[in-house]
Amino acid sequence: MECIPHPNKTQNQNRKNTMHKIGEIDLALKTVERDVSEPQSWHGLENVTENLNTENCALRGVNIMRGQTKIILEDGAEYPAPLQVPCIVHPLESGKLHFLGRPFDPSSYQLFDNREFLDFAAQCFAAAGMDNGLSFVTTLYDGSRMTLSRRLPEADFQDAHGHEVASYINLLNSVDGSWPVFANVSEIRTVCYNTATANLMEGGSACKHTPKALSEFIARFPDTLAEALAVHKGSANEYLMMADKPLSFTEAQAFFASLLGKGKLSTRSFNVVNESLMPLFLKGRGCYGQTAADAYNAVTEHFTHSASLEANAPDGSADTKKREAREMLLSDNLPETIEKGRKMIADYSQR
């Protein structure tokens, strides 16, 4: 599954770019790839590779250099500095370098580059008894961040409608210090910035860019994967519990109103309910307009793509709304929540 935006005629290209964060340099490097067996991503920017793996992906061919720095004072005096800066030859401008991050001190921070990341992924897979095959690979922010996803059939499950829900192991990394090395198992295939953010919010295991932390992470990866599968199974069970709760059109509308309203329903919240959440509930990704699970999918899709990074970060406003929605939909008090929303809609209509 991928969290994708609901079709909207008013969306423009800038909005799409904001969502996927795949830049011109990423495309020039050809580091956005999927295996031929995988369905096309929502943005459709990837190249297709047969038997995609950690050795033949384009990301392997990117040469990230560790540039040395020096200090030049106002009087022209020059002094060597211990800092290094990650960079590549600019793929679009001849004779120039493209800097992937800020200078760093190698005595306290170890750059974990693309090849080390891919070798790490292969070692993790091998430790868990898997080959080095990949489903999707992408760089983001013009090479500064990188992600990969591998299909994990062992964690697949069926939803309440009998549809197979694919599961993936996702690995994330950055060379600009913005992300740790991160791994999780979820039904979200990482193909862009928003799906990466969604996986970070799903939770998983992370480690710092230091030799000791990375070696320990690889050594314990089989246990980490087993734990991640258990957590994923628990999330799947929660989803199936929601899928067993029928929700009519008007009940879903009332639930959304109760989720967004604070005592009374504002015009903005009323519009979000009817112009965004209800269309997603009916025809959003993985939605059939029938159950509490469809309502939860609508909420996660809307807030993942309509809110900022800060809002989607742990304990951010969007993250909080998604957690509230799950708790409310799983609660025995859902009928009271729906009744509260009905009253809010009725009060709004009488203004």
For β-strands 47-49 and 33-35, DSSP reports them as parallel
Q: Is the pTM of this model over 0.75?
A: no
pLDDT value at residue 318: 77
Beta-bridged to residue 165, according to DSSP, are 157
pLDDT value at residue 208: 83
**Beta carbons within 8 Å of 150's beta carbon, 6+ residues apart:** 125, 130, 133, 134, 135, 168, 169
Q: What is the mean pLDDT of each run of 10 residues along the chain (351 residues)?
A: 41 52 96 97 95 98 93 89 93 96 86 92 84 97 96 74 78 90 87 85 78 80 75 68 88 94 87 93 84 88 73 70 88 93 91 78
**Beta carbons within 8 Å of 191's beta carbon, 6+ residues apart:** 2, 20, 34, 41, 42, 43, 46, 136, 138, 149
pLDDT digits (tens, 9 = 90+) for 215-238: 788 778 777 777 777 766 666 667
pLDDT value at residue 10: 40
pLDDT value at residue 12: 46
pLDDT value at residue 162: 64
Using DSSP's 3-state secondary structure scheme, residue 108 falls into coil
